[in-house]
Structure 1
Amino acid sequence: MSKEKGAGKQNQPSFKVFGYGSLLWKHGFEFSTKKTGYIQGFKRKFWQENCTHRGTKEKPGRVAIIHEADENERLWGFMFTIEGSSNIEDAKQKLNLREAVLGGYTSFETSFYDEYGAVSNVLVFTATKESDLYVGSMSDNPHDDLEHIANQVVGAKGHAGTNAEYVIKMAHCVRKYFPEEKDEHLILLDKKVKEKLGKHSKSVYSYHEEIDIVHHGI
């Protein structure tokens, strides 16, 4: 690579987004790098309903958002860096449709810490109480809340697939790629969903070992 080309690449604009949910395995945009790391002070919660990707208006599913937690809590995921004006514009349009228009999410910026200690500013999508699809906790007892969520999950399906598949894939990704994270909410929900699916669960998650989120095309 010539110095001129290298300098041009260094000077081109970049955009960074943090993935902690379905972005872990389904991207839909071109990115130049993907780094493992975490944001602080948040944890996953399945407190947002979904009527498009993983449910319908008649039977809404549940999807993950992030909720404020202890300031030392670490939520692990991937930071995707998109470079170049056209790629950035394409990614922003696709993310806005996927997360905001169809998902009812909003976005904010926070600090991302990679596994080597470097800090970057990233965009994060989540939902707040202002969203029409936000439901929050259904019970003061965490286990009762998860039971309610699991019952809703196993009966929901949207144009992206079953809600159970969504939960199981996410739990698989967290176990495989972020063993440092102890996400009890997700892991217990995954367990409850599989128990409720019973003998039929194998058809939903038997292929999860084949998930390869290293390649851009997934």
Structure 2
Amino acid sequence: MSVERWVFGYGSLMWRPGFDYVERQGATLHGRRRAFCIYSVHHRGTYERPGLVLGLAPGGAVRGAAYRVAESDWDAVYAYLREREQPTETYVESSAFVRLADGRRVETLVFLSDTGHPQWAGALSLERQAELICGATGLSGRNVDYLRDLVEHLHQEGVHDAVMSRLLGLVEQCERDLR
């Protein structure tokens, strides 16, 4: 009997998973919330000018996407995710149960924020998050583009995240002010 392998995504994995999967479902993870709580010194910032990236902070609930991966693809998908999600080891690999949109409850691989890591930003005010995101750029591009993609794709998924929309408004105002 084969084991089902699932991956939970709450940020860019929702719209750009980058791996083969056999099923995708909307999913909710309880006990964690989507937050810009990790200083980015790689993908969306630098050591000299850190940006912020998403993490799963303790508390609340988060809607994302769960992907079922074929057992034959698992080793390659897992290696890809380790390389993508762990360039500076800011996440802790874990397993967590999520509720799929169709009502099933499945166990997933999930990358949780490491609250003991030096890049853990914690609970920053929206204004401070906007300051850090505004103007930050890393190997994967501008930090504001990451936030904009998030808000746009959440909207496409039918998820209205008022906090992320407000944060985007603050960052866009900051960027206009810099021009």
Taking structure 1 as the reference length, the TM-score comes to: 0.75
CA distance in 2 between partners of 1:91 and 1:200 (Å): 40
Shift of 1:102: 3.7
Runs of 4 or more consecutive aligned structure 1 residues displaced over 6 Å after TM superposition = none
CA distance in 1 between partners of 2:86 and 2:80 (Å): 10
Structure 1 segment 1-218 matched on structure 2, within 5 A: 11-69=1-59, 73-85=60-72, 87-102=73-88, 104-138=90-124, 145-179=125-159, 181=160, 183-198=161-176
Shift of 1:117: 1.1
Shift of 1:114: 1.3
Shift of 1:39: 1.0
Where structure 1 has 5 or more consecutive residues not aligned to the other structure, the ranges are 1-10, 139-144, 202-218
- Answer yes or no: is the 8 Å Cα contact 1:12–1:83 preserved in 2: no
- Answer yes or no: is the 8 Å Cα contact 2:42–2:87 preserved in 1: no
Shift of 1:44: 1.1
CA distance in 2 between partners of 1:128 and 1:160 (Å): 21
SS at match of 1:101: coil
RMSD value over aligned CA atoms? 2.0
Q: Which amino acid aligns with 1:112?
A: V
SS at match of 1:137: coil
Taking structure 2 as the reference length, the TM-score comes to: 0.90
Structure number having the greater helix percentage:
1
SS at match of 1:155: coil
User: Percent identity among equivalent residues?
Assistant: 25
Where structure 2 has 5 or more consecutive residues not aligned to the other structure, the ranges are none
CA distance in 2 between partners of 1:15 and 1:22 (Å): 19
